[in-house]
């Protein structure tokens, strides 16, 4: 390139100093400058000086995909066409994330410009959701440049699941209406609650809103020891959250058949009837005992009379005593009848009765 090409101009300063000006430069311009004395066929030249045109890189472009908690964020910032290379930074709510990022610089040989890309590879966190992110570009020759601001959408699943068990029944029934509630919270992914019953058939109904599911089971004694499970399913995550409940409802057992019988009413009438029968039996027993005691007090016991009676006299003496009352007593044919007559007479005398036991 010569001055005659009109791409260059020369200005002479004092002390034989000259200023060379290059006109109509482009971003791809690269020049080598060498000075001489200007004589034709001169042989004195300065060292060659290479001149590169400084080019500002394009505005950085920020790419923010939908993030998933626990997975690499893959937020990228790209700046193209600069000379020299600039420095990039990814900022989340004014927090510099360069420490968790990786930077790659690629040189374009035909234009001698650079493309730089920064990628945030750290695992996404749920607290990034709804926060703003920007990419800044810095050089020593140009003012800072900033990308468009974007809002992070980070999906995350529920961290807890709570299952509310039904209240225990207060009385025996044929069918128990058991209400279960399952609840999840603190999530923004597309999640639903599922009920699993380890029985082939079930009599139930289910209602579900955002994060809450209600399950009503019509349970009978045949459902005892069967298990109901509540679990969560999310479209973007494999979630291992569940809770279970084992059905146990009260019922009656027939001891004679050793098998489960149908539930009966809890009415108190059978117990009242049983109590009345019991008290009637007690009253009858008391009355019988009283009658027996009265009879025992009005007629002396033969055993007590026997204790007071001296040794039985010979038959001849007893016969004489009996003869004394031959005219007033019935005819006695045997020894036992004679002995009974003696005892009866003595009892008559000791009792102070005025009338003979046989009416005389």
Residues 75 and 24 in one domain: no
- The mean-pLDDT minimum among 73-87, 136-150, 245-259 falls in 245-259
Range ranked top by mean pLDDT from 3-17, 161-175, 177-191, 324-338: 177-191
Pick from 207, 213, 197, 204: nearest CA to 158: 213
Same domain? 19 vs 66: no
Q: Based on the fold, state whether residues 178 and 195 are members of the same structural domain.
A: yes
Q: Are residues 220 and 178 in the same domain?
A: yes
Residue 358 counted as domain residue: no
* Residue 1, pLDDT above cutoff 60: no
Domain edge (last residue) among 155, 170, 192: 155
Q: For a pLDDT cut of 70, what percent of the chain falls above it? A: 65
Write the CATH number for 248.
2.60.40.10
Residues 12, 33 share a domain: yes
Most confident of 38-42, 47-51, 266-270, 308-312: 47-51
Residue 20 confidence (pLDDT):
73
SS3 content of the chain, % helix, strand, coil (to 5): 20, 35, 45
- Please state the domain count of the chain: 4
Residues 95 and 179 in one domain: no
Together in a domain, 138 and 71: yes
The phi and psi torsions of 193 (rounded to 5 degrees) equal -105, 135
Tokens of 29: 């311009």
Mean pLDDT within 209-228: 90
Q: Give me the half-sphere count of Cα atoms (radius 13 Å) on the Cβ side of residue 64.
A: 21
- Does 244 share its domain with 208? yes
Q: Indicate whether 278 belongs to any domain.
A: no
Question: Is residue 277 a part of any domain in this protein?
Answer: no
The CA-CA-CA angle for residues 329, 335, 338, to 5°, reads 25
Q: End of a domain among 134, 155, 176?
A: 155
Residues 128 and 145 in one domain: yes
**CA–CA separation, 261 and 172 (whole Å):** 12
Grade residue 50 by pLDDT with cuts at 50, 70 and 90.
Answer: confident
Report pLDDT for 180: 94
Question: What's the domain range around 326?
Answer: 302-351
Worst-scoring range by mean pLDDT, 67-76, 221-230, 251-260, 281-290? Answer: 251-260
């Amino acid at each position: 390139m010569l001055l005659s090409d009109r791409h260059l101009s020369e200005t002479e300063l004092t002390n034989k100093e000259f200023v060379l000006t290059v006109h109509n430069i482009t971003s791809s311009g690269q020049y080598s400058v060498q000075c001489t004395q200007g004589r034709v066929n001169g042989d004195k030249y300065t060292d060659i000086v290479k001149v590169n045109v400084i080019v500002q890189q394009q505005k950085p472009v920020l790419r923010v995909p939908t993030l998933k908690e626990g997975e690499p964020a893959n937020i990228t910032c790209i700046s193209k066409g600069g000379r020299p290379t600039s420095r990039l930074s990814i900022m989340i709510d004014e927090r510099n994330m360069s420490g968790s990022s990786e930077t790659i610089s690629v040189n374009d040989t035909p234009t001698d410009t650079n493309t730089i890309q920064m990628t945030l590879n750290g695992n996404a966190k749920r607290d990034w959701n709804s926060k703003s992110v920007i990419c800044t570009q810095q050089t020593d020759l140009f003012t800072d440049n900033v990308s468009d601001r974007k809002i992070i959408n980070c999906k995350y699943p529920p961290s807890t699941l709570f299952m509310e068990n039904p209240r225990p029944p207060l009385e025996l029934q044929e069918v128990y209406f058991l209400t279960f509630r399952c609840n999840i919270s603190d999530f923004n992914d597309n999640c639903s609650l599922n009920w699993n019953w380890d029985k082939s058939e079930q009599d139930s109904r289910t209602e579900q809103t955002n994060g809450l599911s209600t399950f009503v089971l019509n349970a009978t004694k045949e459902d005892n020891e069967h298990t109901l499970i509540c679990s969560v399913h999310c479209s973007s995550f494999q979630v291992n959250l569940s809770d279970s409940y084992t059905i146990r409802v009260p019922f009656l057992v027939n001891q004679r058949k050793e098998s489960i019988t149908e539930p009966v009413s809890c009415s108190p009438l059978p117990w009242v009837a049983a109590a009345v029968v019991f008290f009637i039996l007690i009253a009858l027993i008391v009355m019988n005992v009283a009658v027996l005691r009265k009879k025992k007090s009005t007629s002396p016991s033969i055993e007590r009379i026997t204790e007071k009676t001296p040794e039985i006299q010979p038959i001849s003496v007893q016969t004489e005593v009996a003869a004394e009352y031959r005219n007033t007593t019935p005819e006695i044919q045997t020894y036992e009848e004679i002995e009974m007559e003696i005892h009866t007479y003595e009892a008559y005398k000791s009792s102070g009765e005025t009338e003979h036991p046989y009416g005389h």
